[in-house]
Amino acid sequence: MKANFLLISMLALTLTACAGKPKDVPNSTQTAQTMYQQAKEVLDKGLYNRAIEMLSAVENRYPFGPLARQIQLDLIYAYYKAGDVQKALASIDRFIRLNPNHPELDYVYYMRGLSNLQADENALHDAMGINRADRDLASTRQAFDDFKIMISSFPQSKYAAEAKKRMLSIKDTLAQHELLIADYYMRRGAYLAAANRGKYIVEFYRDSVLVEQALEVMVESYDKLGLTKLKEDTYQVLKLNFPQNNTF
């Protein structure tokens, strides 16, 4: 009888132990490196939302491990590729604040520029692709500043050349924005305001391909205003820089 009682007790303990073992944590014994490698493979496959889940899980379990900084960098990229601009920017700002001397800070600023560009692109998409002159371009301007900081702080960065190209493209975008506003003013007879928009492009976006159009706006505006001297001076600048222009 005593032997049977001991056998039943041992069996009950065994069943209790099995019942108490979590069934939803099969990978609880994984190392941080193994978990990270699996998340990285998912990220490399372009499954960004899943990668975010997996990377976040590693970060939460090993917040101070040797892979913590790399995980944060991968999360920045994953958020950007997944189109979650706000989380990407929040992660970037946090990384810069906590790691002011990190060797990959050039990459972080580069990603900040890309993320801010994407913010305005998303807003334009939400507006059903309408290229409105009055839409806000604050994030695009911030992207320009991000790339500028990166280039000035890390001139030898492997991202510097691409950042310069992005800055030129942003200048064209901002110049186009100013031209749309100038056209708005021209159609409403606000010629001085239109001329000032053109002048702004010439002064601040002089290496933009849209400078020629900006000068045309200035010439036409000054003509409408009867400002002959300004019209002639601007026309001479237009012909000197764009001799093939036959607008006037």
Q: What share of the chain in percent tops pLDDT 70?
A: 83
Contact by Cβ (8 Å): 67, 58: yes
Which one-letter amino acid corresponds to residue 156? Q
Per-residue pLDDT tens over the stretch 21-36: 444 333 444 688 999 9
Whole-structure pTM value = 0.77
pLDDT of residue 120: 83
Low-confidence ranges of the chain (pLDDT < 50): 1-29, 126-127
Contact by Cβ (8 Å): 187, 196: no
Domain residue ranges of the chain, discontinuous segments joined by +: 34-99
- What's the fold here for domain 34-99? 1.25.40
How many CA atoms does the CB half-sphere of 148 hold within 13 Å? 10
Per-residue pLDDT tens over the stretch 131-170: 555 567 999 999 999 999 999 999 999 999 999 999 999 9
